[in-house]
Structure 1
Amino acid sequence: MFGKVSRALVSISLLAVVTGCNSSSEGGGLGLGRQASAEAQQPATPVVQAFCPPVVMREEAAFHRVYARGGQDDPQKLLYQASLADATRACTANEATLTINVVAQGRLVTGAAGPSGPISLPIRVDVVDGDNVLYSQVVNFKVDLPPGAPSTQFVFAKPDVTIPNAAGGASRFTRVRLGFETGPAKKARS
């Protein structure tokens, strides 16, 4: 029984090969045509995939609370509270630089003394490799809080985070850190 099945498979395979060799199309029986033949003759450019650093939240700065003047830590004087949650990234690289598109989901909640309208959230994006800071910038991200709405969600995007892609650049220990700027605004470095 096994011999009959094997012979049948060999016969069908041989028939398929012969049919492909006798085809009149330029693609050799596979129906690829002239376009595929021309593409096959062009040299292929080698592609090397770059390491894309993961995004981590700065635990001490994942929440941002703003109080009315003189009302620090008083829940009745809380203007608003913002938080960052899930984050992701996408990378593109050339020989000299690695560009990271950082995207994060956030939420803005009004407090007891909270206003509506545009609110500027100071979001810091750092790229670190161990103790070395490769990139650091604070983005004043505008979020519009609709009148009468107790909260709103937002999506933060920073598509132009650029670091070196050669020696002294990204390694397997490189991380993108994301959080709110908690101190006075510092001069941005890029």
Structure 2
Amino acid sequence: MISAIPAVSGKTLKTIMAVGLSAAALAGCMSAADGVAGKVISGGQQPIEISPETFAPPVPCPALQLQSNTFLIRKYVRGKDDDPQGLLYQATVKDWANTCTQQPDGSRRMKLGLSGDVTSGPAWKGGEVVLPMRVAIVPGGSGAKPLSSEIVKIPVTLGANSPSETWTLIEEKFTIPAGADAKVVFGFDEGRRR
């Protein structure tokens, strides 16, 4: 009778036991979805619904272009232009970025971000500086008339003899018409000098 049962070595027995225990554990996990094992596998939370817009390709945005010679403003005391001791402040544009979202009518709404620094000069007594930034949406063709153009005022508080202050503009009011091949041109605009 003993010869009818095949001999199993210790190594084979351990393998059979490991496979059996693993199968039992997996079966327990499958049947106990509301139990501890099910909560561990699902993270203990309800499934998260993900919006299809999460994986949608980005909406193309127009290129940004800093207008030539408009990255710097130097403001002097009247009658002391180009005198270093008459410098009130100087402001620069340093960084820019944009993102766009598609609108139901086919147009694109642009979120524009610009930033830079304002540094006080020897003649500055402290107070608020208002920086004039022109933003124009221009068609792709050369010499074309802007689709829109406006000056956005950026207030910056600057103390006397203070280190430079960073200014930031984030504006979401610009719209690019449907089908328009355009670029966004920006820069400081002091208007006509007297």
> Which TM-score band applies after superposition, normalised by the shorter structure?
0.5 to 0.7
1:176 pairs, out of 168, 179, 184, with: 184
Q: Secondary structure at the match of 2:147?
A: strand
**How many corresponding residue pairs?**
158
Specify the alignment match of 1:149 in structure 2. Answer: 162
Specify the alignment match of 1:128 in structure 2. Answer: 138
Q: What does 1:58-73 correspond to in 2, within 5 Å?
A: 58-73=67-82
Q: Secondary structure at the match of 1:150?
A: coil
CA distance in 2, matches of 1:95, 1:50: 13
The Cα of 1:114 is off from its aligned counterpart by 1.6
Specify whether residues 113 and 146 from structure 1 end up closer, same or farther in structure 2 by C-alpha distance, changes over 3 A only.
closer
1:111 pairs, out of 121, 124, 143, with: 121
| 1:135–1:163 contact (8 Å) kept in structure 2 | no
Q: Does 1:90 align with 2:121?
A: no
CA distance in 2, matches of 1:122, 1:133: 18
- Deviation larger for 143-152 or 102-111: 143-152
After superposition, the C-alpha distances for 1:44-99 in whole angstroms (9 at most, x for unaligned) are 79x67532112221131110111111222222211111000111111112143211
Aligned Cα RMSD in Å? Answer: 3.6
Identical residues among aligned pairs (%): 32
Q: Which runs of 5+ in 1 are unaligned?
A: 1-18, 186-190
The Cα of 1:179 is off from its aligned counterpart by 0.8
Specify the alignment match of 1:101 in structure 2. Answer: 111
Specify the alignment match of 1:57 in structure 2. Answer: 66
1:139 pairs, out of 139, 144, 152, with: 152
CA distance in 1, matches of 2:95, 2:76: 25
Q: What does 1:30-45 correspond to in 2, within 5 Å?
A: none
| 1:127–1:133 contact (8 Å) kept in structure 2 | yes
CA distance in 1, matches of 2:116, 2:191: 20
Specify whether residues 175 and 115 from structure 1 end up closer, same or farther in structure 2 by C-alpha distance, changes over 3 A only.
farther
| 2:120–2:163 contact (8 Å) kept in structure 1 | yes
Please say which structure displays the higher CA radius of gyration: 2
Structure 2: which amino acid aligns with 1:52?
C
Specify whether residues 79 and 148 from structure 1 end up closer, same or farther in structure 2 by C-alpha distance, changes over 3 A only.
closer
Q: Which runs of 5+ in 2 are unaligned?
A: 1-25, 34-40
| 1:54–1:88 contact (8 Å) kept in structure 2 | no
